[in-house]
Chain A
Amino acid sequence: MVIEHEYETVDLNINMGPVHPATHGVFRAVLAVDGELVVDVDPVIGYMHRGGEKLSENLDYRQGIGIQDRTDYLSQMNSEQAYVMAAEKLAGIEPPPRAEWIRVLCAELNRCASHFMFLGAYGQDIGTFGTAFSYAMRERERVMDLFEELTGERMMYSYFRVGGVAWDLPAGFERKVKTLLRHVLQGVNDFEGLLSQNEVFLARTRDIGVLTGEQALDYGLTGPMLRASGVDWDLRRDEPYSVYPQLKFTVPLGQNGDCWDRYNMRIQEIKESVKLVEQCLEMLPAGPIMPDKMPRMLRLPVGEIYVRTENPRGEYGIYLVSKGGNKPYRLKMRSPCFCNLSALREMCIGEYLSDAVAIIGALDLVMGEVDR
């Protein structure tokens, strides 16, 4: 965009470099600013490329689950679910019902943990200097402690397997989940009191980075970014997988498509996830967690499949090409953050420099997923 001035000005290129406290990972944005107004944004990614897709070609279907954990390191259970569902659909394996319910329970709890991470980091970007972050981490630590009891690890779970899950729930798990849900709801209330109606927060996020529903669809956004712009699309309801057809939940929608709506989406989604987990606990059936006749080394038939799940950040897809054998021939991960990032230019141009930070924060970037 060109701005007319009465005097000579020079555009300044500001490098919001890969090492920056507000870019949520190693993300470089070269901002061309005119005064303080952003005129152009050039995002540079690839600092965290680890060759996950190539590595997956050398790992069989049990070892490759670790790669899925580490690609999107905040929503591990959801990514594992996509990978495991892809292998199961291709092989024609039906996981037993108890495993499906446990998977959804873990996925929804992981959604809560991931959204808490967003809330803490976003509050810190906006300027709450650690208050929001410590409240968020307190609740997130509780979820991670619960997962440590279930799977053995606090973050990189490697819990799902093709055909089911690895271990059954430990004794007393339901009681611990119920206590956790109480704490989670209290944590969300803390956030709503602290940030949602705060005038400073509203001034920094209302009407910033507005995207209309049509623009959001054009750029291929998914997840809370799309729903904040008013488009009613949620894969859990519209293309349900696993046991989601039997669960009742509402999908929150935003009105304006600004950063406040994106923040609010995630707050409401935490509340919906709590309801989903309660339903899962009630309807969890007894039974085995793996099918009876699972081969020691799984070999998939020849074929290809695309499976998508609703990650906390959007639509995570796994495109699996198998040429027989126990390793994939090609594994492509469609990462939601990479596609959400394509709208950055549209959102940032015309905003001030400090608003660019708020917009990048509202995208909920996880660079491990963008670069794989």
Chain B
Amino acid sequence: MYGKGIAKGLAMTAKHLFRKPVTVQFPEETRPIPARARTNLLWFDERCTGCSTCAQACPDGCILVQTAPNPDGTLEKVRYEIDFRLCMYCGLCAEACPYEAIQVGGRLDDAVYVFDNMYRDKHALTVFARDYLANNHWTYPNGMKAPFGNDRAEAVTKTE
């Protein structure tokens, strides 16, 4: 009988009337993001030593590290910049960092109107990082506690 296939197709679409829709009504609902999700990069100034292993690991060459020696032997990070226009969120920098100073877990709703503002220097990165810590009980994404969590740190976030 001609038309049997079309009737079967219509029956299939009719069955969908009685199935629960899978749509997530954004922005009222948000899709749950798993714990391992590779979202934005967070750079923690207090943990970074300026070794630039992250810059060597990056496939795109997004990370710029410029250091100067301190009198006590450590390195002063003169410039630490991440070019988020190029970053492809592969997470290789976070895998490479021996001190877990750069980690994935930041928020992805950081869109800007001017494209060049996606090139973030160390001050902009620190604002993001402190913002994250303030909203997450001063715990790093990898579970460790930040050495702040007191009034001084919160005052720093408010003034920046």
Question: Is A287 interfacial (CB 8 A cutoff)?
Answer: no
Whether A63 pairs with B12 at a CB distance below 8 angstroms is no
Q: In the bound complex, how far is the Cα of B31 from the Cα of A149, in angstroms? A: 13
Residues of B within 8 A of A149 (CB): 34, 36
Q: Evaluate contact between B88 and A193: CB separation under 8 angstroms.
A: no
Task: Verify A138–B13 contact, CB threshold 8 A.
Answer: no
Interface pick from B41-49, B64-72, B77-85, B89-97? B89-97
A355 to B87: give the CA distance in the assembly, Å: 42
Q: Which of B22-78 contact A (CB under 8 A)?
A: 22, 33-38, 57-59
Tell whether A62 is near chain B: CB-to-CB under 8 Å. yes
CB neighbours of A198 from chain B (8 A): 5-6, 8-9
Contact B12 A190 (CB under 8 A): yes
A200 within 8 A of B: yes
- Distance between B4 CB and nearest chain A CB, rounded to angstroms: 7
Tell whether A170 is near chain B: CB-to-CB under 8 Å: yes
Chain A nearest CB from B89 CB (Å) reads: 7
Q: Is the interface of B mostly helix, strand, loop or mixed?
A: loop
Q: Do B89 and A193 touch (CB < 8 A)?
A: no
Chain B nearest CB, measured from A187 CB (Å): 11
Could you tell me if A152 and B104 are in contact, using CB atoms closer than 8 angstroms?
A: yes
Q: Does B11 contact A (CB under 8 A)?
A: yes
A residues in contact with B95, CB < 8 Å: 166
Question: Using a Cβ–Cβ cut-off of 8 Å, how many residues does chain A contribute to the interface with B?
Answer: 31
Q: Does A235 have its Cβ within 8 Å of any Cβ on chain B?
A: no
Interface SS of chain A: helix
Q: Is the CB of A148 within 8 A of B59?
A: no
B36 neighbours in A (Cβ, 8 Å)? 148-152, 167, 170
Contact across chains for B91 and A199 when beta carbons are under 8 A apart: no
B147 lies within 8 A of chain A by Cβ = no
B143 within 8 A of A: no
Give the complex CA separation of A63 and B8 in angstroms: 49
Asked whether any CB of chain A lies closer than 8 Å to the CB of B99, the reply is no
How far is the CB of B99 from the nearest CB of chain A, in Å? 16
Contact in complex: A194, B3 (CB < 8 Å): no
A19 at interface (Cβ–Cβ under 8 A)? Answer: no
Question: Would A197 and B37 be within 8 Å (CB), given that A66-B59, A131-B13 are in contact?
Answer: no
Q: Are A199 and B37 in contact (CB under 8 A)?
A: no
Quick one: closest A residue to B3, CB to CB?
A: A199
Interface flag for A281 (CB, 8 Å): no
Q: Within 8 Å of chain B (Cβ to Cβ): is A202?
A: yes
**B2 within 8 Å of A by Cβ?**
yes
CB distance from B93 to the nearest CB of A (A): 11
- The reply to whether B92 and A199 contact each other, CB–CB distance below 8 Å, is no
Q: Which of A138, A193, A202 contacts B8 (CB 8 A)?
A: A193
Interface pair B91/A63, CB less than 8 Å apart? no
- Kindly provide the distance from the CB of A258 to the nearest chain B CB, expressed in whole angstroms: 17
Complex Cα gap A141–B21 (Å)? 13
- State whether A194 touches B59 (Cβ < 8 A): no
How many whole Å from A273's CB to the nearest CB in chain B? 22
0 or 1 for each of A183-198: is its CB under 8 Å from B? (1 = yes): 0000000100111111
Q: Which of A138, A151, A156 contacts B88 (CB 8 A)?
A: A156
- Tell me if A341 counts as interface (CB < 8 A to partner B): no
Are B2 and A199 in contact, CB atoms less than 8 angstroms apart?
Answer: yes
In angstroms, Cα B57 to Cα A351, docked, is 52
In the complex, the chain B residue whose C-beta lies closest to that of A296 is B96
Q: Once the chains are docked, how many angstroms separate the CA of A123 from the CA of B3? A: 18
Contact of B37 (CB < 8 Å), options: A62, A63, A152, A190: A152
The residue that B92 contacts in the complex, of A62, A167, A200, with Cβ under 8 A, is: A62
Shortest distance between the CB of A65 and any CB in chain B (Å): 8
Q: Using A59-B59, A138-B22, A153-B38 as known contacts, say yes or no to A197 and B91 having CB atoms under 8 A apart.
A: no
Residues of B within 8 A of A340 (CB): none
Residues of B within 8 A of A202 (CB): 5
Shortest distance between the CB of A295 and any CB in chain B (Å): 14
- Contact present for A199 and B90 (CB under 8 Å): no
Identify the B interface with A (CB < 8 A): 2-6, 8-9, 11-13, 22, 33-38, 57-59, 88-92, 95, 104
Q: List 20 A-B contacts (CB under 8 A).
A: A59-B59, A63-B58, A66-B92, A67-B59, A131-B13, A149-B36, A150-B36, A153-B38, A153-B89, A156-B90, A158-B90, A170-B36, A194-B9, A195-B9, A196-B5, A198-B5, A198-B9, A199-B5, A201-B5, A202-B5
List 9 other contacts, CB 8 Å, given A59-B59, A148-B34, A195-B9. Answer: A62-B57, A66-B88, A148-B37, A150-B36, A152-B36, A190-B12, A196-B5, A197-B5, A200-B6
5 A-B pairs with least C-beta separation: A63-B59, A197-B5, A152-B38, A193-B12, A198-B5
